Amino acid sequence: MQPTTRLATNGDLEVLAQFQRNLVEYERPMDSTIAVDADGYYDIESLLTDPDTHLLVAEDAGSLSGCSFGQIRPADHWAAHERIGYIGMVYVHDDYRGRGICSMMFERLEAWFRSRAVHELRLEAYARNPSAHKAYLKSGFEPHLIQMRRSLE
């Protein structure tokens, strides 16, 4: 069966919460600043009800296989655009990787952003996550800004 995408619903909350926990656990070795008790970055219920957010799930053979959201956010005051499209919570379950699910979600989010007159997309990836970099480059994203940190502890 061909993977598909659709808008997430309240019925997907349990699986979305698990996807988010999986994402945090995957990224935890890349970021020592993630709190030990953190199990998510986003309030999924708020994402579902926010009119400026488009939360997608991917389905493959009747099972949820991934998720991602697009959100319209204000741009920095100095930017050429007033608003940007932010993409977050990009997750594809291990069993479904390599099937074009990430690209499919990005294409659908891009169409939604275009329909809302948003012309600039942004997302974030850990420097030590080459598989994410590969997926994002494949979808037309390019490196833009490097954020650096230094602990004072």
Residue 61: predicted pLDDT? 85
**Residue 153 confidence (pLDDT):** 86
Q: Which amino acid is at 145?
A: L
Render pLDDT for 63-96 as a digit per residue (tens, 0 to 9): 999 999 999 999 999 999 999 999 999 999 999 9
Q: Decide: 125 and 136 in contact? Cβ < 8 Å.
A: yes
Cα–Cα dist 103/16, whole Å: 19
The pLDDT-based confidence of 117 (bands split at 50, 70, 90) is: very high
Single pTM value for the model: 0.93
- Domain limits, the chain: 4-138
Ordered DSSP codes for 32-94: TTS-TT---SS-HHHHHH-TTEEEEEEEETTEEEEEEEEEEEEPPTTSSSSEEEEEEEEEE-G
Q: What is the residue type of 78?
A: W
Mean of the per-residue pLDDT values of the chain: 94
Give the confidence band of 2 by pLDDT, cuts at 50, 70, 90: confident
- Residue-wise pLDDT for 87-100, tens only, equals 999 999 999 988 89
Residue (of 81, 78, 68, 83) closest to 139 by Cα position: 68
Partners of 56 in beta bridges: 7, 68
Quickly name the fold that domain 4-138 has.
Answer: Aminopeptidase (3.40.630)
- CB neighbourhood size of 105 (10 A): 25
Q: What does the pLDDT read at residue 98?
A: 87
In this predicted model, what pLDDT tens digit does every residue of 9-20 receive, in sequence order? 999 999 999 999
